[in-house]
Copies of this chain bind each other. A is one copy, B any other.
Amino acid sequence: MSKEIQIYNTLTRQKEVFNPILENHVGMYVCGPTVYGDPHLGHARPGITFDVVFRYLKHSGYKVRYVRNITDAGHLENDADEGEQVIVKKARLEQLEPMEIVQLYTLSYHKAMADLNCLPPSIEPTVTGHIIEQIEMVKQILKNGFAYQVNGTVYLDVNKYNEKYSYGTLSGRNLEDTLEGTRTLDGQSEKKSPVDFAIWIKANPEHIMRWPSPWGEGFPGWHIECSAMSKKYLGETFDIHGGGMDLVFPHHEAEIAQSNASNGCDPANYWMHNNMITVDGKKMGKSLGNFINLEEFFTGSHDKLERAYAPMTIRFFILQAHYRSTVDFSNEALQAAEKGFTKLMNAMETLGQISASENSTYDVNALQKKCYTAMNDDFNTPILIAHLFDGVRIINSVKDGKESLNAADLEQLKTIFNTFITDILGFISHKESSRNDLTNEVMELVLQLRGNAKKSKDFDTADLIRDELDKVGIQIKDEREGSSWEVK
């Protein structure tokens, strides 16, 4: 087990050695989607980021309980405790029952995550599945004196909280900054201070997602869900809390306040945040026309896209950047990523075909060390991928007879590639996803027929095969060891 993983902790603004609370075990909570629309890039990035964290921690020998919630109630249209619950609004627009919306988009989220080869989390709790736990937590916060009730809505009293704890540590804002940045909206007058936020919200008569509570019928405030569910499945304080950087304030700041106000302790020791995504240099937004959902990427069905991009191209592109850097999507960048990915996966196939020599001209041990060092350094996937490309160079050189590897080193290189590419980065070859075993088997026959045609100087047939395959996007590569094929 690697004990040297360093994690950049948003809370302390520095990299820290990762020490779990319970030896060999990790509890990780990541904020999941609000299921009222198709999954898009903003879902893909945290999905993939924390999938790699999950995979690497497991590879490092930890038993990981990875909890990612599904927000199926409570999330309002804006952060100021106003507007409609987004799922209720979507249900009204589509004339469906809210839970039909939830079902539709939970399924499409699951499908997109599976396409991207993200492992399912250990538990996927829902807001509606934990109303009681949220009510219990609101009761506790009231009891501890950090909240007040007005007309059936319960607010967390941020000023009161700030007397004992410190509000704003995660986002680095002090209370005055926060106050200045908070719009004073009509209808907020029942709050003692504009910085206070709702932890239980009274349901208006027309509201259909509602539950009985000690304060009348209502629904949970958006932030309380994660506090209640992480506590239930990971305990009052757990190891890692993850999410997108846009959630630092107010969502995660509110979670910290709720946990302290209810349990008297911080919820998580390490806070990890993935950075944001832009499209052609601009923030994604429905009004900007650059809001592309994942299915549109996979099928190429969006004006901005020159063609379809496979899920693995998206995954490679996202992991080519460090999770704390911004990422800009463009056709050029995706096509470059696709080429890089193909080169990497082709080398992995070549690795299965090259033979060992007496001596090695390359230090495989050093490569392995570098790969672990990269991952231990705050999951630095771009550096890891750069090292793997050094491996690609060697593989191709060995194939060309310019370098050599002995049997043990060749085995070790295979282990490195399998471990880091398949297990940790979670890449599947285009071949595995775009062609099944039957295609492989039929293509073997086609390559054999082409070899026979060439041997008997039947060049018409050989050309016919090349041209017809070219039409369907298959390229044949003739090498010293024989012919192989790939999907272009």
Contacts and interface: CB of A to CB of B under 8 A. Distances in A.
A100 B65 contact: yes
Interface string A451-488: 01000000001001100110011100000000000010
A124 B136 contact: no
Contacts of A128: 129-130
A123 B99 contact: yes
Interface residues of A, number: 46
Contact of A472 (B97, B123, B124, B441): B441
Contacts of A100: 65, 122-123
Given A442-B442, A445-B446, 10 more contacts: A97-B122, A99-B125, A103-B120, A107-B120, A129-B129, A132-B211, A435-B436, A435-B439, A445-B469, A445-B472
Interface of A: 65, 97, 99-100, 102-103, 107, 110, 120-126, 128-132, 136, 211-212, 233, 434-436, 438-439, 441-443, 445-446, 448-449, 452, 461, 464-465, 468-469, 472-474, 487
7 contacts: A100-B122, A438-B474, A438-B487, A442-B443, A445-B446, A445-B468, A449-B461
Nearest to A120: B107
A410 to B, nearest CB: 30
A442 B474 contact: yes
B472 A438 contact: yes
Nearest to A96: B122
A111 to B, nearest CB: 9
Contacts of A442: 439, 442-443, 446, 469, 472, 474
A436 B122 CA distance: 32
B446 A464 contact: no
A449 B474 contact: no
Nearest to A460: B452
Contacts of A110: 110
A474 to B, nearest CB: 7
